Amino acid sequence: MTLDARTAAVRRPSWWRELLLGLGLFGVYLLVEALPLPGREERAHANGEALLAFERWLHLDFELPVNLWLAGQGWIRVFANYEYAVTYIASAIVLLIWVHARHPVHYRSVRNSFVWLNLFALACFWLYPVAPPRMLEGAGFVDTVRLGHTFLSWGSPALQGANQLAAMPSLHVGWALWVSVVLARIRGGRVVQVVSAVHVLITFAVIVATGNHYWIDAAGAVVFIVAATWLAQVAKPVERVPASDTFFLHVETRDFPQHVGGLIMLDTTKNPSGPTREWVRSALEAKLPVMPRYAQRLSPYSRWRRQFWVPHPGIDWDWHVPDFDLTRPDGTPGGMGALHELVARFQSEPLPRDRPLWRFAVVRGVEEDTAAVISLVHHAVADGIGTISLMLELFESPSLLAGLNETKRPNALQKVAAGAVGLAQLATDGRPKAELPSGHPPDRRYATLRIPLDEVRELARRYGVRVTDLLLSGVAGALRRVAVAPLPESMLTSVTLMAAEPRPGAEGNVTAAVMVDVPLGDLPETQRLERIAKATKRLRTGTRVVASRFVQHTVANFMPPFFHSWFARTVYGGRFFNGTVSNMPGAAWPTSFGDFPLHTAFAIIPLAPGTPFTIGVLGWHGSFSLSATVDAELVDSVDGFLAEFRAVLAELD
């Protein structure tokens, strides 16, 4: 499933809801017709005479000669009658269906403007009824529609009950012009503009020539369209940041930024110069219509209501897409060490909230025939798997979220039962025995390691454990060997679980976490792995995950922002866990960024406040791609830590 399709599936309202809305709008029309104000017919004729007199005063009363000319034109009269009866309705319905099917991101705004246009018109019909020229006695107009017995018009027996005292505004011109405005805003282009203009001009000529409207009714329709379009924009529902995403805004501090991302390694063999910033910018600009958060920023902070996303005019591309060249003065590549230092620098810098919360840095001169891209978004925009999936969509690669609609999910009763059990389990889970050493601010060190994925999977199969168990064991064993300060006998580790659920633009957080007590004592690595596997086995039931999701996605939505902020800062950080480990799926297929194939990608995961390490793994096209961010207060050499991690796996092999 492509990003466009997923965006459409999630953003597009259900067709039956839209049908009910249309029936409701028609019900309002019937109500207006059933409850007319006293003296409607007399007032309608008086208003019609007044409009015609006003046009005569302007010397612009050309309706009668045009009407008499059309009455004697045979097939032209028939064409005009059917154009009056059919095309304005057909064009509006077809446009709504087309926008719903092909441009779901715009649908709600388009539909709302249409609803407001009709509500304004119905109010005018009720308060200011106007008889059309053909109904004015002694004016000399010919009713060409009734004369031709035009099918599907008020002249037909089936529509004799239609409100004929509704000349102001002309909804025929109103709907035709509304269609033109929508097409111009969504599609643009000279051809669309010309076709739209011709359609409106023909409709205008027809409503006047058939004796159904004064030209001033069309002018009134223009005013109503402007008002409806403006109100649809002003009254557009704001996109509030869900509580599960707001969580990461609350816990973020200057010392502990909360942005996630990926370090993408590119093969530049075919094009040694590497990707240019201009080329990356054009690729991102092309995706902005389906990546709305990349063109939005947060509303001002308030203690009393959740923030929402607002459009951000004028993206600062120089800031969002910076360019780096790590080549040394002697012309040799800067190496992975220099790249890792750059990533650590980005991790330490909060994303300003007065602009869209993302950056996409282009890095050349890493190694021979190797460049890199550092892709970052705030955790309030997407979780880890959402970030990776978004990155793949940018590279025109199949999404990680494809095909997950068929995933079996628990029903409501199962969720309630699992949630109740999980909440009880979470309440009885312990706290860390001691906090690990952590600086404020932390001195971040970042590094990466690639191991053949089959090698890791085979090792896990041999011991009858999961890859995550092996990951936790390697982390614990490596920390035991390289930590610069004494460690407690165990550490409570937050193991992040990410649900790859379809969502527009891969946005939002659908994460949960379980706490695993990982032994750090001096014991054989096989025994450490055995104890970790035993500890994680009791967490695999999923009840803790359901409970965690229930708290983050349901309970938190009912919390006032000030209380949610306190809750988030209280439960997230060093007082509740010692560090974070995340094992995520990556692309299992070859991937390219334009002309540049991807070697692999590494996760970039933030440090939780008060914690000194975070480990992320992507299973990427045959590679166990591990990244580590550690605080120098705990480990002074992150490369040494990864070397010991590799040594632990070697001992288990």
- pLDDT tier at 503, thresholds 50, 70, 90: very low
Strand pairing partners for 613?
Answer: 630
The whole-number average pLDDT for the span 472-486 is 92
Q: What kind of fold does domain 243-652 have according to CATH?
A: Chloramphenicol Acetyltransferase (3.30.559)
Question: 119: exposed, middle or buried (C-beta count within 10 Å: 0-12, 13-18, 19+)?
Answer: middle
pLDDT at residue 424 in the model = 53
Distance CA 114, CA 175 (A): 8
The whole-number average pLDDT for the span 153-162 is 55
pLDDT tens-digit readout, 259-307? 998 899 999 998 888 888 888 888 888 878 777 888 889 988 887 778 8
Concatenating the DSSP letter of every residue in 1-58 gives --HHHHHHHHHSPPHHHHHHHHHHHHHHHHHHHHSPPTTHHHHHHHHHHHHHHHHHHT
- pLDDT tier at 403, thresholds 50, 70, 90: very low
pLDDT at 152 exceeding the cut of 60: no
pLDDT at 128 exceeding the cut of 50: yes
In percent, the amount of the chain with pLDDT more than 70 equals 83
Question: 369: exposed, middle or buried (C-beta count within 10 Å: 0-12, 13-18, 19+)?
Answer: middle
pLDDT at 45 exceeding the cut of 60: yes
The whole-number average pLDDT for the span 149-178 is 75
Are 164 and 210 spatial neighbours (Cβ–Cβ below 8 Å)? no
More confident residue, 589 or 435: 435
Which one, of 149, 145, 112, lies nearest residue 232 by Cα? 112
Which one, of 435, 420, 518, lies nearest residue 477 by Cα? 518
Distance CA 61, CA 37 (A): 29
Which one, of 131, 135, 149, 143, lies nearest residue 82 by Cα? 149
pTM: 0.66
Q: What is the mean pLDDT of the chain?
A: 83
Tokens of 38: 């006293």
pLDDT at 210 exceeding the cut of 50: yes
Cβ neighbours of 282 (radius 10 Å): 11
Residue 266 exposure: Cα atoms within 13 Å on the Cβ side: 25
Extents of the domains making up the chain: 3-234, 243-652
pLDDT at residue 642 in the model = 96
Helix 190-209 to helix 75-82 angle (10° resolution) is 110
The angle subtended at Cα 277 by Cα 275 and Cα 280, nearest 5°, is: 70
pLDDT tens-digit readout, 368-395? 989 999 999 999 887 766 677 766 666 6
